[in-house]
Amino acid sequence: MKDPKTTYIPTVEAIQDAADKLKGIASVSPLEKHTRFSDKYECNMLFKREDLQQVRSYKIRGAYNKIASLTTDETKDGIICASAGNHAQGVALSCNLLKIKGTIYMPAPTPNQKIEQVKMFGKAYVEVVLVGDTFDDSFHQAMEECKIYGKPLVHPFNDSKVIEGQGTVGLEIVQQSKVPIDYIFIPVGGGGLASGLSSVVKALSPKTKIIGVEPAGAPSMSKSIEKGEIVKLTQIEKFVDGASVKRVGDLTFEICNKYLDEMTTVHEGKICQTILEMYNKDAIVAEPAGVMSIAALDGFKDEIKGKNVVCLVSGSNNDITRTSEIEERALLYANLKHYFIIKFPQRPGALREFVVDILGPNDDITHFEYTKKVNRENEVAVVGIQLKDQEDLKPLITKLKARNFFGDYINDKPSLFLSLIHI
């Protein structure tokens, strides 16, 4: 489609072999109609529920297929992997089932919930090593260990057996659907799922359009396809930990460049809105990477109207301790949460004036923190205010300035915002 020089394409036969190997290991996850989203987008919306796997993501598919394909001699000293979380759980369970020792390198900021799940699934067969701030940092350390000890690496995406295992998701979708599929929306991190799924879907249902979705803060596949070669990002937003990589794989880039019909990105705040919406309205608990395909739908609402659409709910490994951050990011994205530096005149009644005369009747103070006194006339505070309607922002700022309370608006000043507000 885009790159005729692709050197490796997983065959339908190879993906079927992976499906056979995964029988009794990975569930054939439901492909179920979602009425609310069908009504919202005026289409036939189907969710592929990979969040219902035992390890609560599709990653068991590729991990098990890879490890089960290794010889006894190759695994006698154990295996090594690097992962931001979900691949690690798949590897851990696979090691436990196959009775193979594994060392799993994970970024230090990985949610604790994912770390504990890895240990639970792997039991005595796995050791978790926390290193670095990103997947790429962990991967570098894992590669060094592989060189030293000669152990095989179970790569989370840039491996043919992993790609073929992930491709079983696409095989199931085609087999399960009772109608021709017009669109499939899938999350993209390193590209393992996108490579396997797109290969088998394009072979069995060539008219299906496949849309890859990345977090706006880590568009490594989008940038690479746009340039026609792999681009390594210098910095990434790490919030969507299951899909934030600086560099996609060599194998996955070639396949995605060939088979993905389009790449798009979604803002992390929109992802957070979608997480909360699905939890509150559908009782579906999903992680940030798990809802990316759904978060992207607003940008395609005209295109998918009247069509048969599949969205992959790819994982549900969300740490409850992140809930406040998710809510914060969602409110900021919706322009309902705003932070100011407020100058309080040093006179009696200033705070009361701010609360009674400046704030609107529906405005809520969610953050209030005094900072160092800057002069005799004013006391400075960082104040977070949640609005009921985004249109209330302009009149609020007008009243702040009119009464000389306005110091600065810091939502749009990233360096200042991050130094004062901890989310």
Report, as residue numbers or ranges, the catalytic residues.
59, 314
Q: How far apart are CA 317 and CA 290, in angstroms?
A: 9
CA 201 to chain centre: 23
For residue 34, the one-letter residue type is H
Q: Please, is 336 exposed, middle or buried when counting C-beta atoms within 10 Å of its C-beta (0-12, 13-18, 19+)?
A: middle
* Spatial separation of the C-alpha atoms in residues 175 and 399, rounded to whole Å: 61
β-bridge partners, 311:
47, 185
